[in-house]
Amino acid sequence: MGRWGEPPAKAARERSIAVRMKKPPKTFLTTPENVGKENNLYPPWVEKLWNLYEGDLIRVAGDLDAGALQQGDERYLLLHVSALKPRKASFLDDLNDYQASHNLLPFAETNLPIERVNAVLRTLPYAKTWRWRVLLPPQGERFIISDRGLCEFGDLDRRTGKPWPSHGAFFPLGPAVGVLGFRHEPSLHRRVLRRLDFSERLTLNRGYTALLNLRLWEDAERFVVAHLRDRALIENIDNGAQIRLDPDGPYRFRRFSFLGD
């Protein structure tokens, strides 16, 4: 969250950010250390696992923003996206919803640490098979981020009623950069799939930054975070105003109908 904060000279956790809460509904300025830290959520050995990539992720996100991702740093991005859901405070509820829907016994609180790790290990191989795109907002626009750290799109666009080509998720890594991951469909995607390839950088057309930000708000559990200058944006993000999407599709100079084409 510190990448959304100002001034950059301060430590990331001490920078000022704009926050909008869902319950109670309010928007205010604060710092990442006041909203992003939940004490005693993980045992020490699980914290050590997160520390394996957290420190490098800040550097890698900056390199990705600058278009200078170093070889081998893809692993930090994959660890980040694979751990987002298992790291949630409400992950036990997610696990037991799945257990109940499959007529399986629920997990106890004591099972939670190892099940967090198991979930990361299950997700990593899957993430390696996805197509990845680096998304950039047009000049003057910025991404927000939610407490979940991602938003998902499914097989049907609720706004148009048209099917998406594939299922995927968007992961903002800063106000000016994010990564989109989606399942490779050989019948739809002409380009040969290259694993762990983050070289495709696409600038969004008008309306699509707003669409992704709205999805981030809708998918948030408790709050979203934005740059200081975007306080009004998150305060009014669900006011019912129609998002006008560029008729040329989501990407500048690329004739795609959907984000995951």
- Per run of 10 residues, the mean pLDDT along the chain (length 261 residues) is 88 91 94 81 92 89 91 92 92 93 94 95 91 92 95 64 67 95 71 73 92 92 94 89 82 72 66
Partner residues linked to 147 by β-bridges: none
pLDDT for the residue 194:
66
pLDDT for the residue 160:
59
Encode 62-101: b = buried (16+ Cβ within 10 Å), e = exposed: ebbbeeebeeebbebbbbbbbbbbbbbeebbeebeeeeee
First-to-last alpha carbon distance for the chain, in angstroms, is: 29
pLDDT for the residue 162:
60
pLDDT for the residue 245:
83
pLDDT for the residue 152:
86
Element (H, E) at 13: none
State how far the Cα of 236 lies from the Cα of 146, in Å rounded to an integer. 15
State how far the Cα of 245 lies from the Cα of 214, in Å rounded to an integer. 13
Return phi, psi of residue 173, to 5°.
-115, 0
State how far the Cα of 144 lies from the Cα of 229, in Å rounded to an integer. 11
Choose among 122, 129, 219: nearest CA to 170: 219
Which residues have a Cβ under 8 Å from the Cβ of 184 and sit 6 or more positions away?
Answer: 129, 130, 131, 166, 193
pLDDT for the residue 99:
92
Please state, in angstroms and as integers, the Cα–Cα distance from residue 137 to each residue in 162, 205, 227, following that order.
Answer: 24, 8, 14
pLDDT for the residue 247:
83
Please state, in angstroms and as integers, the Cα–Cα distance from residue 173 to each residue in 43, 134, 136, 138, 208, following that order.
Answer: 26, 10, 11, 16, 17
pLDDT for the residue 156:
53
Residue 3 identity (one-letter amino acid)? R
pLDDT for the residue 259:
74
